[in-house]
Structure 1
Amino acid sequence: MTGNIRMPSTVPVTVIGLGSMGRALAEAFLDAGHPTTVWNRTPERAAPLVARGAVRAEGVEGAIAASPLVVTCLTTFEDTRQALEGGVGALRGRDLVTLNSGSPAGARATAAWATSHGARFLAGAVKNVPSAVGAPDTLLYYGGDRGVFDEHGTTLRVLGGDTVHLGDEPDLAALYEMAVGAMLLPALVGFFQGAAAVQARGLPASSTVRFAGKWLDMIKSLLPVYAEEIDSGDYTDAASSVNLFLAGAAHDDELAAEAHVDTSWIAPLNALLGRAAEAGHGEHSIAALTEVLRLGGNGAEQRKLTVHH
């Protein structure tokens, strides 16, 4: 018996795009009690969600019209616009949140497209795997209309407890997604190379996991130090210099010959070290590579940095 007690309302949500991540998003909304409408070009993908209480829309226009908050999870911004094109008439008055990969330019184009059809727009990114959706420490960040974030913040936090609004610019999540995501492939390829090397000695790849984890923890601990050096433009306090890394590069060919592993993917990185040394950064912190990566720039004095909180 509830008497005069009003139960908290749960905003109806539509999820468009039901790949592994899209399904996880819809499941999180369902678990939190949100009336959830789903749509995918392949209708069969909706079946497990319908079994859990979701409503499958017959078409994309109906899916958009079903909820004030529409969350898309497709591969790119271009895919998102294509998928929604058939239902643009229903976008007016809706709040559109995109959770996909893509460039800042793609986010800006999609923001302009969405607002031209009368929708408010927020572009975000899920910084974890589908199985982590809904966890208290799962990070999602968003850029775009602050009003959308403020109005739906409680609903969006259902997807992850570490939920951040980066600013009103609609491309900020895409910018940070690419900036942070740039670390992923080099780190993974480094691990795969190490796995191949230890297997060449008859040892299991699993034997490296503990040590690789400790190594990643150490790298994580250095990030604030390097960020401060980059923001200040002062690389003179070099705990690990460019020349130190350059000296270690000579061992790559030895490892390749001994373990029969392909280390050629490292060659461009070693070339970057050489360019930094030639530019006078040899005895500077390894963070000085940022200056070599900065096309058309000549150092800290030419940088225009904007910090968003």
Structure 2
Amino acid sequence: MPANDRTPVTVIGLGAMGTALAEAFVGAGHPTTVWNRSAEKAVPLVAKGARHAGTVEEAVAAGPLVIACLTTYDATREALEPASATLAGRALVTLNTGTPEGARRMAGWAEARGARFLDGAVKNVPTAVGAPGTLLYYGGDKSVFDTYERTLRVLGGDTVHLGDEPDLAALYEQAVGGLLLPALLGFFQGAALVTARGLTAGTLVRYTVKWLEMIASELPAIAEEIDSGDYTRPRATVGIFHQGIANVPQLGREAGIDVSWHLPMHALLERAVADGHRDHSISALVETLRKPE
């Protein structure tokens, strides 16, 4: 974009992700103002061309687009409260973790102060910010997204507006993010198994990646089963997974590792079998999840 078309941006919060966001904007030539409670975190960014605001009010006043990257919605409101009067007429984009309900409350808070609100999520690590394939999705005021899409795309080439509801990014963040820890725990268990035999965790990587690719290839069919409610043509049944329960304690004893993290999943399989899903596709577990104990 032409030099005179680079929107001034303010970044509030300079943790690892906030710093990466600010670096991307500076690198793309946007006039970038930064603020953090611990002012020393701004020093490396100032050396790269950012401007450090002494107060959050000064930071918010510096431009039309304010991006807050703090830990939670509560932390965001607390940090921005002194600048409440300055938010009117500006676009506020939040990139933090939280629940859909938290996003709705954040939207109400912002709108009560005259700000136009957009909530988002960065679906990658800080070092990936700015890469063409990095995914960010947003929910909320479409006019904000339309106005600043080119600026927001600086943060990642795969930039998506999910819809006008302000909680959609938080909804998808929770829905997609739920995969991360179980997947990592599976790898950690594998690493504990092979390292107990004197092998390295690195030997697992190639085979784990192939396994994850297989799982990814199955997701469209699994999603279709869930959307249709038809679980009667299974590739893998609930019963197959249920039969594997007995192997886990034995594996734990043999390898001398803690496998107790499996217990809630085993309980879910037991309930699914009791619900009559033994011969149904494993995707039928979603029906059991819809009926919490």
TM category, shorter: over 0.9
Give 1:250 shift. 1.2
Structure 2 Cα separation of the partners of residues 8 and 71 of structure 1: 21
Give 1:8 shift. 4.9
Deviations 1:75-117 (A, max 9, x none): 0011000000011110001000000000000100000000000
Alignment of 1:142-181 (within 5 A): 142-181=138-177
The equivalent residue for 1:259 is: 255
2:70 counterpart SS class: coil
Q: Which runs of 5+ in 2 are unaligned?
A: none
The equivalent residue for 1:38 is: 34
| Percent of aligned pairs with the same amino acid | 64
2:188 counterpart SS class: helix
State which of 229, 253, 270 in structure 2 corresponds to 1:233.
229
1:281 counterpart SS class: coil
Give 1:248 shift. 1.3
The equivalent residue for 1:76 is: 72
- Aligned-partner residue type, residue 23 of structure 1: T
Regions of 4+ moved over 3 Å: none
Deviations 1:164-188 (A, max 9, x none): 0000000000000000000000000
Alignment of 1:131-280 (within 5 A): 131-280=127-276
Structure 1 Cα separation of the partners of residues 4 and 267 of structure 2: 59
- Aligned-partner residue type, residue 135 of structure 1: A
State which of 51, 70, 92 in structure 2 corresponds to 1:96.
92
Structure 2 Cα separation of the partners of residues 192 and 296 of structure 1: 28
Please say if residues 3 and 29 of structure 2, whose CA atoms lie closer than 8 Å, have aligned partners that are also in contact.
no
- Aligned-partner residue type, residue 99 of structure 2: S
- Aligned-partner residue type, residue 227 of structure 2: D
C-alpha distance 133-166 of structure 1, shift in aligned 2 (>3 A)? same
Structure 1 Cα separation of the partners of residues 186 and 165 of structure 2: 34
State which of 102, 106, 109 in structure 2 corresponds to 1:110.
106
- Aligned-partner residue type, residue 44 of structure 2: P
Structure 2 Cα separation of the partners of residues 7 and 34 of structure 1: 8
Q: CA RMSD in A?
A: 1.1
The equivalent residue for 1:24 is: 20
- Aligned-partner residue type, residue 145 of structure 2: F
2:71 counterpart SS class: coil
Confirm whether residue 58 of structure 1 aligns to residue 25 of structure 2.
no
TM-score between both structures, scaled by the size of structure 2: 0.98
State which of 15, 20, 27 in structure 1 corresponds to 2:11.
15
Structure 2 Cα separation of the partners of residues 251 and 296 of structure 1: 26
Structure 1 Cα separation of the partners of residues 264 and 33 of structure 2: 47
Give 1:202 shift. 1.1
C-alpha distance 62-234 of structure 1, shift in aligned 2 (>3 A)? same
Q: Which runs of 5+ in 1 are unaligned?
A: 1-5, 298-309
C-alpha distance 7-79 of structure 1, shift in aligned 2 (>3 A)? closer
Deviations 1:114-163 (A, max 9, x none): 00000000000000000000000000000000000000000000000000
- Aligned-partner residue type, residue 213 of structure 1: V
Q: How many residue pairs were aligned?
A: 292
Structure 1 Cα separation of the partners of residues 13 and 22 of structure 2: 10
Structure 1 Cα separation of the partners of residues 243 and 276 of structure 2: 16
1:80 counterpart SS class: helix
TM-score between both structures, scaled by the size of structure 1: 0.93
Give 1:9 shift. 0.8
- Aligned-partner residue type, residue 24 of structure 1: A
Structure 1 Cα separation of the partners of residues 3 and 200 of structure 2: 55
2:275 counterpart SS class: helix
1:209 counterpart SS class: helix
- Aligned-partner residue type, residue 13 of structure 2: G
Give 1:201 shift. 1.1
